[in-house]
Structure 1
Amino acid sequence: MTAYAEFPQGLRIERVVTAGTFELDGGSWEVENNVWLIGNDAEVVVIDPAHDPEAILAAVGERELLLVVCTHGHNDHINAAVEVAAEKDAEIALHPKDGMLWQEEYGADLRWDVDLADQGGITVADLELTVLHTPGHSPGAVCLHASDIDVVFTGDTLFNGGPGATGRKYSDRDLIVRSIRRKLLDLSDDTRVLTGHGEETTIEAERAGSRGWDEDETAE
């Protein structure tokens, strides 16, 4: 696989774009998701395993899969998590406030392994990813900030163009805007925002557009 972004000491980010169905509130929508991998030739973390476990596992290859991280519990961000983790004997991490969404996909008898917590740390290839709890799109939504390389993985909290959607159950428009302003917009201007869908942006670009968020419609 061609690296999406490369950094010193062999660290790299890869993106696998997968397609499938997002289902919630009795509706279904065809979507494309960004599945992110970050690591080196020896080890890797997978972020938001969606729709296509075979493609994700092919990208992991022979590397050790340290952790499968779900930025939130919507089915289009977790529906390949169990299969990917089981194949590589890895653990799955999710914020516990999204447990009800996890259960909609997997039932009450199957639980994720690791509870994500605000300011918690995940280490891969000598890089620290800091967990930022950013509720609003869902109660347990998180972002992962890699300050050493000026990258933040935002799931569906922040997109190129503004906040993620809040028109479905468990979501809150005021809360997502507050989360972004308090946790993300203070990051450095050139921080790359790697999103759950669509193309990347920067903190500088999204801060510049944030004045109208209270009045604008949510991004899809």
Structure 2
Amino acid sequence: MAARIERLVTSGQFTLDGGTWDVDNNVWLVGDDREVVVIDAAHDAAAIEEAVAGRRLVGIVCTHAHNDHVNAAAELADNTGAPILLHPDDDVLWRMVYADRKPDRTLHGGDVITVADTVLEVMHTPGHAPGAVCLYAPELGALFSGDTLFQGGPGATGRSYSDFGTIITSIRDQLLVLPGDVKVHTGHGEVTTIGGEAPHLDEWIARGH
């Protein structure tokens, strides 16, 4: 039985560079009736644990360490015993949220996470954050893009530790080469597809989005 994808939307605040914004985050669960992975434990550990619904939590994967994507990770890990996984290049952002706690495992491009007999391939896609990653599940025709790629363009790069040229390189060289029918499950907002976004790369570059 192939893994299935579930979405939970949680609400809270994103804080960086002295500013605070209200945000809705997509929390993605990938698994079956036995086990599951959580991608981006945002805002509400109790709601995420309820969505896990007693299944074995294989891991809490952080696409990056902005506070709105990790602020429920520690509580969820404490309640379930699941490890927190993060790319080490996002250590500086992680420590803004958790000064006294480290992630349990590191993520690197080329790593593979297996859940419910389904492979999630880790891609290191810096730009929005230094340690940003995307997860590609070929069997599901799905990409979990965090804040790297959205419906309508790249993630924001106007704040600390982000870079527009870097995110464009990540998207062009790693994401837009995937099959066009791959569904992109984003960190905020609605699902899109690689084919729906790829034709607009030059527009994004021109406007420095």
- TM-score normalized with structure 2 length: 0.98
**1:167-213: CA deviations, max 9, x gaps?**
00000000000000011000001000000000010000110111211
How far apart are 1:28 and its partner, in Å? Answer: 0.2
Q: Which amino acid aligns with 1:173?
A: F
| Equivalent position of 1:46 in the other structure | 38
| Equivalent position of 1:6 in the other structure | none
> Would you say the 8 A contact 1:137–1:172 is kept in 2?
yes
Name the CA distance, whole Å, in 1 between partners of 2:199 and 2:205.
Answer: 14
Name the CA distance, whole Å, in 1 between partners of 2:3 and 2:139.
Answer: 11
Long gaps (5+) in structure 2: none
| Equivalent position of 1:83 in the other structure | 75
| Equivalent position of 2:197 in the other structure | 206
Long gaps (5+) in structure 1: 1-8
Q: Which amino acid aligns with 2:198?
A: R
> Would you say the 8 A contact 1:72–1:142 is kept in 2?
yes
Name the CA distance, whole Å, in 2 between partners of 1:149 and 1:106.
Answer: 33
Name the CA distance, whole Å, in 2 between partners of 1:85 and 1:195.
Answer: 23
**1:76-120: CA deviations, max 9, x gaps?**
00000001111111100000000010000010x210011000010
> In the TM superposition, what are the counterparts of 1:130-141 in structure 2 within 5 Å?
130-141=121-132
Equivalent position to 2:207, from 195, 216, 219 = 216
> Would you say the 8 A contact 2:164–2:208 is kept in 1?
no
Report the number of matched residues. Answer: 209
Q: Which amino acid aligns with 1:22?
A: F
**1:102-160: CA deviations, max 9, x gaps?**
000010x2100110000100000000100000000000000000011210000000000
| Equivalent position of 2:9 in the other structure | 17
| Equivalent position of 1:98 in the other structure | 90
Equivalent position to 1:147, from 126, 138, 162 = 138
Indicate the percent of aligned positions where both proteins have the same amino acid: 56
How far apart are 1:216 and its partner, in Å? Answer: 2.2
Q: Which amino acid aligns with 2:45?
A: P
